[in-house]
Every structure is written in structure tokens, then in C-alpha cells.
Amino acid sequence: MDACPVTESRCCQFCPQMGVDLDLVNRTLFGVAYSGEPMGEVREVNIARSREAKIRERAQYGGTVSTLIRVALESGLISTAVLAKLVEGVPQGVAVSSSREVLDCCGSSYLVCPVLEAFHRWQPEDNGRVGVVGTPCQTLALAHLRTCSLSAQSNVNRLNLVIGLFCTWALSHRFRKVLEKWAALPEIRKTDIPPPPASVFHVYTADKCISIPLDDVRPFVPPACALCWDMTSEMTDISVGSAEGIEGWNTVIIRSRKGQELVRTAVSEGLLETRELPKESLDHLMESARLKKRRALQNLVRKSGRREDLLHLKLKREIVERILGSD
Ligand SMILES: Cc1cc2nc3c(=O)[nH]c(=O)nc-3n(C[C@H](O)[C@H](O)[C@H](O)COP(=O)(O)OP(=O)(O)OC[C@H]3O[C@@H](n4cnc5c(N)ncnc54)[C@H](O)[C@@H]3O)c2cc1C
């Protein structure tokens, strides 16, 4: 093995799995200490959906993400968006700048997508501003980047919008072999995980829907997902997920003033509609987010052997105690 002589490196600084101080990240983004509340910093929680039929037809649920990105591009908040796009059925990170291209990125791939690679490769034009859509691990990496002393050598200073997706886990690309047993990857129109108690992974082609038991899917979840404590992409301007039991709508958590203004613009331009999130759905979301935190802490403690050592995660002791209790 070669010894690495570098003492200060971007690889070590930027990777949140090498150490992330959630208090520092939260203060940098929101100006307050990290609370450890299940859903992070919250200004508003609503349900929303696109008013545009052509987005709703292709979107995962209500098309809220694609609509907000479209409005951000058209209003000049950003000049480029880094999104995930299926190329021959495999998700790739792409930098796009038109509404047409945003439409081509609609829908969720549950395979891990190298969105941040596309963010780092993006070559900004003069005064270019970028928005990124990503999973909790990706949006945490971006937020963490803002706290790194070497970040000037990255595109992070051009980052003007982060939209996060809710995520329980993603799937390794080894899962492609399982999918290919049922359909050629480019023929897959949509994949989805319906809410419990279904316990299946749906794969839709033009003429059929295949249901794969979740027990056959879970072996393809990368081990890092078991250590992730964030279900709702806490370090973002806006986070979006499904609206359980309310088909065709999204749950939307607005976290920053910028996020709030973007949603207001989308609504006032008639491109997005919002409604109140029913209390029981909010309670359920809170509970799922709390359980993800608890599971992650249990796994981290199991791995390190000590409650005081959460490996890459730096968290205040009182937050750990509150979540783990007498475990
Ligand atoms: C791996 C994964 C796991 C998820 N788990 C949950 C969950 O447990 N609970 C829940 O409520 N929601 C989950 N979601 C979010 C959900 O699938 C929708 O993305 C979200 O509700 C937005 O819906 P929409 O109709 O607004 O999306 P759309 O308007 O269709 O936009 C979807 C956006 O997601 C981006 N995207 C697609 N695939 C990926 C990917 N692999 N990585 C990064 N970005 C991607 C696209 O670029 C696009 O901009 C998950 C998403 C992913 C990618």
C-alpha cells in the first residue's frame, strides 16, 4: 500500500463520512445550533403538486421538485440545475439549464446516482449560479462543503439552491442485475416503493407492473445507508417526499427564507398548488424521521463499541441521550 504524504486534502475535508460536525453545518446554513429534532430546521410543512399536466405525467409523485427547479431557472435564482437523469435506464448526474431538460429528469431512480460528481465537474459561466437536487447524504455533503477551508477550490460558492429528497435508503448498482431479470433497463418507465404494509418494490414498464418483495431488495442497500441519520434532507432550502396516503401529491418542508420565496413564487405564478398537511401525516413523518435517527445511532454505537464514539458523526451528547434513551 502507498503512504499518502498529503496532510491537508480536499478528499478528506469534503467527505462527510470522514467527519461531520452537525452543529457547525447547521449554524453555517441556518445560524442556529443543531437541535436534533426529527425533521431538522422547519419553517413550514405543506403538501404540494405541480399545476402542469406535462410535469405531473412524468414526475414521481406531484412533480413539486421539477416545478420548483423550473421556476428557479426561469426566475434567475439559478442558471443551472444539477439533476439525475436516466441514460439507458441508469441514473447519471447532469447539469441542465432549460425547462425542457428539467422535464427529461422527472421521476425517481432508487439506484445511487453520482449527482455530486456532476456538480463538481460543472464549469460555471460568468456569474453562473447552480441548484442541486439530491438525497440526504448528497445534500449533507454540499452543506458540509460550505464549512471546509478548501472549499474555495470547488463550485460551492456558486451554489444558490439545494432541494433535498426524503430517503430511507438507496440501492447499489448491483441491483441492476435483479431489474434486468424482469425488463431491459431502458424499458423501465418508473420504480416506486408504495407505503407500508405493501412491502414491495414496484417496477413499471409500458405494459406491466412487477412487484419485487422488499426482502429481496434490502440486500442491495449500501451499508452506509444504515449509518445515515437523516430521512428528510435536513441541510437544504426545501425538502420533498411523498405524501403518504395522498396520491399525486408531495410533502414539502420549507427550511430557508430562499426556499419560502421560491415556493411562494411558484404558487403565485400558478405553477404549484399547496395545501395543509394533515396532522396524522405530519405525526407519521416525524415518527419515521425519528426512527431513522435512532436506528442510525444504534448502528453507529454497535460499530464503534461506545456511545461516546459515533465515528464520523459529531453530535451533542444531550441529543444522543435524548434519542437513544436507555437503549
Ligand atoms: C434513492 C431515493 C430514495 C427515496 N426514498 C424516499 C422515502 O423513503 N420516502 C419518501 O417520501 N420519498 C423518498 N424519495 C423521494 C421521492 O421518490 C421523490 O423523489 C420526491 O417525493 C419528489 O417527488 P416529485 O414528484 O416532486 O419528483 P420529480 O418532480 O419527479 O423530481 C424528481 C427529482 O429527483 C431527482 N432524482 C431522481 N433520482 C435520483 C437519485 N437517485 N438521486 C438523486 N436525485 C434523484 C431527479 O433529478 C428529479 O429532479 C426517494 C428518492 C430517492 C431518489
Ligand 1 binding pocket (C-beta < 6 A) is 59-66, 83-84, 91, 105-111, 113, 115, 133-135, 165-168, 170, 240-242, 250
Of 49, 68, 108, the residue with max ligand 1 atoms within 8 A of its CB, to mutate for a pocket test, comes to 108
The atom number, within ligand 1, closest to the CA of 91 reads 41
160 vs 45: CA distance, rounded Å: 21
Residue 130 pLDDT: 98
Residue 299 pLDDT: 98
- Report helix, strand or coil for 299: helix
| Partner residues linked to 286 by β-bridges | none
Helices (H), 38-85: 53-58, 64-74
Q: Which amino acid is at 71?
A: V
Residue 196 pLDDT: 87
Q: How far away, in angstroms, is 233 Cα from ligand 1 center?
A: 11
The answer to whether 62 and 46 are in contact (CB under 8 A) is no
Q: Where are the beta strands (DSSP E) in 70-206?
A: 80-87, 90-96, 130-134, 159-165, 190-192, 200-204
Q: How far away, in angstroms, is 146 Cα from ligand 1 center?
A: 24
In this structure, how many other beta carbons lie within 10 angstroms of the beta carbon of residue 174?
A: 11
Q: Kindly give the parts of the chain with pLDDT less than 70.
A: 1
Q: Per the structure block, which three cell numbers stand in for 204?
A: 413499471
Between the alpha carbon of residue 178 and those of residues 87, 218, 257, the distances in Å are: 18, 12, 43
* Protein residue whose Cα sits closest to atom 42 of ligand 1: 113
The atom number, within ligand 1, closest to the CA of 251 reads 21
Q: Which amino acid is at 125?
A: E
Q: How far away, in angstroms, is 252 Cα from ligand 1 center?
A: 12
Q: How far away, in angstroms, is 179 Cα from ligand 1 center?
A: 19
Residue 5 pLDDT: 87
Q: How far away, in angstroms, is 27 Cα from ligand 1 center?
A: 26
65 vs 203: CA distance, rounded Å: 21
Q: For 52-100, how does the pLDDT look when each residue is reduced to its tens digit (9 = 90+)? A: 999 999 999 999 999 999 999 999 999 999 999 999 999 999 999 999 9
* Protein residue whose Cα sits closest to atom 24 of ligand 1: 63
Q: How far away, in angstroms, is 309 Cα from ligand 1 center?
A: 32
| Partner residues linked to 212 by β-bridges | 201
The atom number, within ligand 1, closest to the CA of 64 reads 26
Q: Angle, nearest 10°, between helix axes 22-30 and 136-145?
A: 80
Residue 28 pLDDT: 98
Q: What is the mean pLDDT of the chain?
A: 96
Residue 74 pLDDT: 98
Q: How far away, in angstroms, is 22 Cα from ligand 1 center?
A: 23
* Protein residue whose Cα sits closest to atom 12 of ligand 1: 241
